[in-house]
Structure 1
Amino acid sequence: MTGFGDSRAANGGLSFQGYVAGDILNLGLTFLDAGRSNSSELFDDLSEAAFNARSREHWPLCLENTRQSLLEQIHNWADAKDGKHIYWLKGMAGTGKSTIALTIAQQYSEKERLGASFFFSRGSGDLASAEKFAVTIASQLARNLPGFEEHVDDAVVSHPHIRKVGLYEQWEKLVLEPLSLLGKRTSSSHAVIVVDALDECNSEDDVSLLIQCLANAAAISGIYLRVLVTSRPEQLIDFGFGRISPDAREDFILHNIEHFIVDQDLKLFYEDRLVHIAERFNLGDSFISDGIIQTLVRKSDRLFIYAATACRFVYDGGPLLAQERLSSLVKLEKQSAQPEKELYKMYAAVLEQSFQQNYQPEEVARVYTAFNRVVGSIVVLSDTMTPAELSALIFEPQDKILAVLRCLYSVLDVSEQAGGRIRLVHPSFRDFLLDATKAPDRRISVDAKATHRDLLFCCLRLMKGYLKRNMCNIEPPGTRVHKIPKARIDQFISRPVQYACCNWIFHLQHSDVNLDGEFPEMIDFFHDHFLYWLETLAWIERLSEGVTMIKLLAARLTRQPSAIDTHFTLSRLKSKWKQSPKTHSPSTALSLVSDAMRFLLRNFSIMEEAPLQTYCSALLFAPQKSMIRKMYIKQLPQWIVQQPEPLENWGIHLQTLNHSADVRNVSISLDGELVASTDVRGMIYIWNATTGKKQRTIHFSWARSIAFSPGGRMIASTGRRDKELRIWDVATGKEQRVRFSGYEYRVIAIGSFRSDQQLIASGYDKRVHLWDAITGEISKAGGLRSTPSRTTPQHTNLSTFEAIFTTNKPFSLLFSVF
């Protein structure tokens, strides 16, 4: 390393100050760190996902003498030392799945046999994502399963960058392998894992992968592991569980329990809660009757969320309004044939009475406006917030927010403890508010697009007010992210600011903002705060999301549904825009966003490691005509007294994917989202094409030629001496059971797949073969003029099956059509 103009360049190899002579990205900047990591240092686990998290402190368990048969069945399954490993409890919204999951988790925790739990929650940030699933389960297993911590600590030492790899590789290294090692040492470990509301995970791809992760963990020999999963009966989840052998899983449909059993449980629930309310407020024996309870049971129509919300509504009425509220629920119009409609009618009654009973008629209009601003924000935010945090984000006084929330304790869970976040009692309340057809009074429905627009501008306003250079007041500009305690980062970058940085594009995508018109706020943001935004994302370890956000913004500007091509083909699209004399033209926005993407991609690896290098190395090596460089060149530190002569323009180089050995072959998925590469050692690497992050390594000796399937879920490879083609699962890195064999010559070139059913390949016999992906057999063959080489550009046509092979001869291409 060579520092320019400053003697503090190296800092003992732990931080980088100054810049490296040469091409930083091609060299691959390496930071050295001594000492042994362990799970406690590595895991930024999600404590809020556990069953006993503070946010679930007041969640009810199954009432005594209710759900007896089902709970007994689950206990028998969990306690068995043989039989099925997976129990899938599926049911419609409001049927009590989460209460059952919480009860089982609590009971097995008391038995000291709960291995781990993860309760997903839509609209709750990390709780709606699988990003921290593996580390959270591993962290809990390390605390709860004797002997597991030692093996997971070893895994952390062996894989120090485990947090940066894909979900399945994390699961494999942090859960599967430690469990397997533990199973070889002992046969007495018996644990239950509870996963609730799988359908509330926000990525369909991750949902499918999570099912596979859990199935693989439950099947490990030597460990008596049982996995309980709850979800709505959605098609994607049903397909995922359908891939697990019926001998390994137990399915139970909650909403198919006989009506009289559910009604009896609801009757016990209403009796318990209403008696408690009567005693709490001294309402006397006349408060409830068998007729009232029977009516409420009938209206609940097997939905426990109806019963729970109804009782909360009555309780919140206090001694003066409890009786009136109970009567209003009993008198609701004739029961609908659809249970969800009964629930929505109750939500409407709750909101109507909450407002009308607490405010004068002339005040109601202002209250509904405040309701839409506050509650509308709550239901469309991608994460939960405390009242103070929500106040900072939407620029409303906290007292005003609390005043609205006090009317809605029946449907919103607002903790009175400091730091308590606002949560929906049930996701169905969000569905009710966002669908105008479900609300009889349009004043209580939420216009999602308008609310997202409002939140977009709130995010921009907040970032413009708080983002600055050196957000965390760090002195050495080469300081690594992982050297700064998270508590310090959170101290300087508040949760509302973090939320704004990570979600302003999310709100733009779902808003009614028209980028064809005036949107000077976006141009101003890139002009004045772009580098501060990148630095902030790097400190909170979300810089890869910045790449995705800029990509989405470019897609929006080019009027495309997605921006698969990272270069965005701007030269072909700028001509389509009409100039606006009032403000910055769309072509200006396109050029600026494109330049911003190039700047981020080229410097991603160093900014991710050392955020303050955004103002040093990144700016120094940006091309002279880069718009970002011109805007921010004055941000260069004064101690850099000698600057290099950068290139004039960006050129065609977008990004570098660093390998530790020479690259042999490359394949790109059809949707442009993934890149696969092989090196001279034969390893196969899967990369995220957007962020440049390595997602998976497939350990296979001498992988020579590779090709993605059209869906990007499989990849085919052939080895140095193989007479077979092998198919790998991209997500897990596992080899599929079918091998393509029966070929007398070594396969050296793969053409392409067709509809995941067939692939084309050739070898030393100068023939092209079409292989059947189901049977693994050759179904058709054709001849070539000479032997193809390992380099294989590929093309698939819907009507014909085409492949182009290169040869070792100059200016020679081989073309084959089936």
Structure 2
Amino acid sequence: MDRQLDRKNYTIGWICALPLEFAAAIAMLDEQHLPLPQDKLDDNAYRFGRIGSYNIIVACLPSGVYGVTSAGNVATQMHRSFPDLEAALMVGIAGGAPDPPRCDIRLGDVVVSEPTAGFGGVLQYDFGKTEKEGRFVQTGVLNKPPKMFLTAIAKLKSDYLLQRSNQSGLSGGNSQNSNVSEIIANALKNGTVPQTFSRPPNTANDSDRLFRASYEHPSMNSSCDECDPGMIVGRESRPHDQPYIHYGLIASGNQVMKHGITRDCLAREKNVLCFEMEAAGIMDELPSLVIRGICDYSDSHKNKVWQPYAALSAAAFAKELLLQLPFRVIEVNQPERIVLNLPIAEGAAYGSYVDQHKPECLAGTRIDLLETISNWIEYPHSQGKVAHNLHTSNRLAASFFFNREEEDRRTGTRFFTTIAAQLANHYSSLGSRIQRAIQLNPDISAKALNEQFDKLVLQPLSRTRLATHRAKLVLVIDALDECEEKENIRVIIYLLSQLKNINSMDVRVFLTSRPDLPILSTFKKLSDDTYEDVSLHEVPKIEHDISLFLRHKLCEIQERDELCLPEEWPGEENLEKLVKRAVPLFIYAATLCRFIGDELWDPDEQIELVLNYQTNWETSQLQMTYLPVLNQLIVVHCLVLLPCVRDKWSALLQTLEGHKSLVRCVTFSPNGKLLASGSHDNLLNLWDITGALLQTLHGHEDTVNGVAFSPNSRILASASDDMTSKLWDISTGAQLQTLGHGGRVIDVAFSPSNGEILASISNYETIKLWNTTTGTVLQILEGRELGASILRVAFSPNNGEILASASYGGEIKLWNTTTGALLQTFQGHEYPVHSLAFSSDNGEVLASASREGSIKFWDINTGALSRTLKGYQYNDTCVTLSSNTRIIACGSINGTIKLRDIIMETPLRTLRGHTASVRNISFSPDNKLLASASSDYSIKLWDVADCEGEAAEVLLKTPEKHSLYVNSVAFSPDGKVLASSSNDGTIKLWSATGVLLRTLEEHEHSVSIVEFSPDGRIFASASKDNTIKLWDTTGTLLQTLTEDDWVTATKFSPDGQKLASITCYQFQIKLWDTSTTAEFLWNSNIHRSWIRNYTFSPNGKILASAADDETIGLWDTTTGQALRIIHVPGSMDPIFRGIKISPDSKLIASRSGGGTHAIVQLWDTATGMLLQTLAIGTRKDWVHDLAFSPNREGDRYIDTDIKSLYQTVFSLEDVENPNNPEFQPSEPVVSQNGEWLARNGEKLVWLPHDYRPQCSAVYGSTIVLGHHSGDVSFFTFRT
């Protein structure tokens, strides 16, 4: 803040309402300026500064005085003091008006006022009258935002569209801008705003919760943690945590909107995106644009958690917008650093942050090569990297390092703009010419490369004379072959060759690349005097250089303490052999060093593997380089990723790395949403169960031995060797209490009811009971009665009236927590007891697990030992029991964890992943997750929901398979039984886990289909033997129905009283009464081709059929009378994959291939008219399931196994003004789509050829496939 400008230099105002918005605005300034005198009637508080090429004035409303009037006064006074202001920004927070899927606004998103039909971007309304009348009562017509801002918005939108085209998976919001996120990240990193402005973490207790509009917050004094989670509106998760930008109408009133129903009613009336209170006051005083960060949802569930981040995101977008404005020369007395509005490729220049850790050439190597380059640029001999030498000698004018892993560095589109920006920064005389070129051609960065080169590089260089005569400047272009746009490569080489024609200076281009054909062919088209080529592998003394390199890298490996290698390792003989292998390729040498230094393998064995690798005369050096590496990778994966027992996923879900030393303890919060860990690094870490580190708690001065959460999960207690236990506020990380002890604190535990009592173990010999509110000691248990070496304590579940303590000697004692009296002493363990757990029902049984490998169960009333389980190992370092005392987990010194079923006394699974001793284990409250802490400095989360931890369990193909094609599979309604039918003439009944229950062989030919009745009492099978058989679920044959032809399909009515059947060649449907004697009722005969699909209405009164003759037939199931025939001219290929009738029988939904798209069509049953066509995806996205979903808050959806479709037409009357169909995420639906298994249309599991099915059936998250081979495969996905 060292400059004071004139009033006329400030042309843009920035107005905020709150101090935190003011702080965010100041953080956006590129530089701050000294204050200026104000008008005598102006009492505003200002900050002055610059963003880009515009000088900005920032003002804030008086503290506590908000609303339209206050904002208008601030704008009036600002304009009075600074009459040259051209426009203003109103930037701050607001309440969003989410209406998914129409308007999926989230907390932290940004809303920008943009003109819409009849409005200038802001709607001013009277809150009181609006609330009373239930519609907007408009109180004024406001101006549009300034043209300069609207033009910049158009440019941003264009940039966003280009950005989205290069990013897969973006959805939701109007646009997403990584630049805004970068601005936010930089502000937090640089400390211009405190960390309290960070985005709130995405914890399981996520504060971004949208409740149903009708659900009011229960109490002003309670948080939303106490709100009903069942009232939360389900929304699709976003792929990124970046703010989404929404453009449209903002409602500005004179009161805060905090009523969900009113919000929705008003927002839908005018398509309002958010509500606020100040914008209307400044719109007509100063031409303004309004930018709002969303901090709540304008309902009663308000909180301030998101306000700082929302203010920062709005400010970041405002800065991004200002940077898009046309470049403006800053007319001030002091010389200004040239600021160019040019897009550059971040990290492409030499010395960039992203490349700071990349190694440079080893000193003493490539000397001949460097001499060659030095002579070429007439520069003295030197050592080191070319770019480094040129940079230090001020000869490096610009550089560009291509990298195919970086978006801006792999195409060349920003090549010349990046070069021009560096030239301008290095040479001021060049900078002014480049700046002028940008002013004359403001869209130059969007022009072709040849025009960019001419205007930004060639002309400025040609017209500039530097201080030294015939100055030599060098451009360094590295890894040109990593440019993926081959045509851009040719253009860049050709244009750079034109630099030789500059007379005012000598410009040289040093370019490196692999010898790719497009590059070689382009150089061959240039004249010989234009370039000089050097092949790196042909430079003399390459063997000497590689020898130096290998010696240096192998020495680094030898010096690693944990390897204990001798000083002479690996020996001159081995070194010489490695050098001969590597010559002439440095990449070979570098690969060898990484291979030998792999921390998972012994270096001597790695060298022996390389030197003994057998080659023949056909083996290339490429194969010699990588085959040993690849072979070893295959071995590792075979051992670790593909267990030989079963094809299963590992139970390991997450590895949490954040501690700097061995982790001593870990525990879950009672609500199962958080995880706390303590370590030898004296720190406490808080994590969410997704593995994200939420915060690190500092305060202990020695090892943290134990952690425990209060019952409400709001307070964390810790035990440390620094002779203290501490209480922490989970939400803020603040220390609440420090409880002093006379020795190291071993462990802590909260009482279960309200957490008012904390038990702590001190120095293995004292137990103290504390009041957690006051920090006072309630009881001290010590002396001979307590015993020595206390390891664990546990409260009983019945209000914590009993405390159990376990000792190193194996003794267990029960204490009255009120009086401190000893109640019971249990003796029986011979070794240390590591775990205690009361039974979760009434606490009358205590389980104890000991190092001698036993678990004992004690009756706390009588003291009797009721049961002992054995079978564990002495090298178990820690033992813990699940809360339901069903599973025991034992951590071992070798890093494994063994799970055993306590009731069955059988092993369940061994969890492998830690590389050092397991120090502590904790089950989640629901016993579905296990957390383990280890001496390898990590915490691991394991899925133990089924004690086998599979993310997608694949039960191997059943050995009891059918002998021929599987034609059909079907689940019973309760999902407990699966029936499969085959060309071998049999029906097999299976359990849901794939166990064969029974094989039915009564059919005389192939069985086409099996189907269960809706109540699950019976199932039907249809066969090529012209019969339909009815069975009960045990496999008993009940009825046989005889047809005239091969029966290909059957379907039960919703009440299970009727059965419809289709035969192969008769093109008709028959209806049977299954309630008594399977009586034939009637048959249809209007279709003239194969009937593809048919369905009953939900009330069973109508039957609909769809056929290849391009017709849909509707039938009265009672009389068999045809109600209507719907003709579908020019129908799809294939015609119909299925149809469904709506609950009110007014609509029919049909699904089909639809030419190039998979589509769903809605038909009016009364008129046969097509009402709506909803596109689902490409034609490859087969739709296997279709249903009308129940109403969701008044809306209706059509569910498919790919996605849910928003139904905007409900009857014929809605056709005149249909809305565009929108997508809405549905509940997770598993389906088989060609060669993939998918969930909600997302392809998850690719199916090899022998797993691709003839048919499939789904129940919940389980899908069963019937195969051509006769196999039946079961797949279960964890939801």
Report the structure, 1 or 2, having the larger helix content: 1
Q: Same fold, TM exceeding 0.5?
A: no
Q: TM-score, normalised by structure 1?
A: 0.40
Larger radius of gyration: 2
Q: TM-score, normalised by structure 2?
A: 0.27
Report the structure, 1 or 2, having the larger strand content: 2
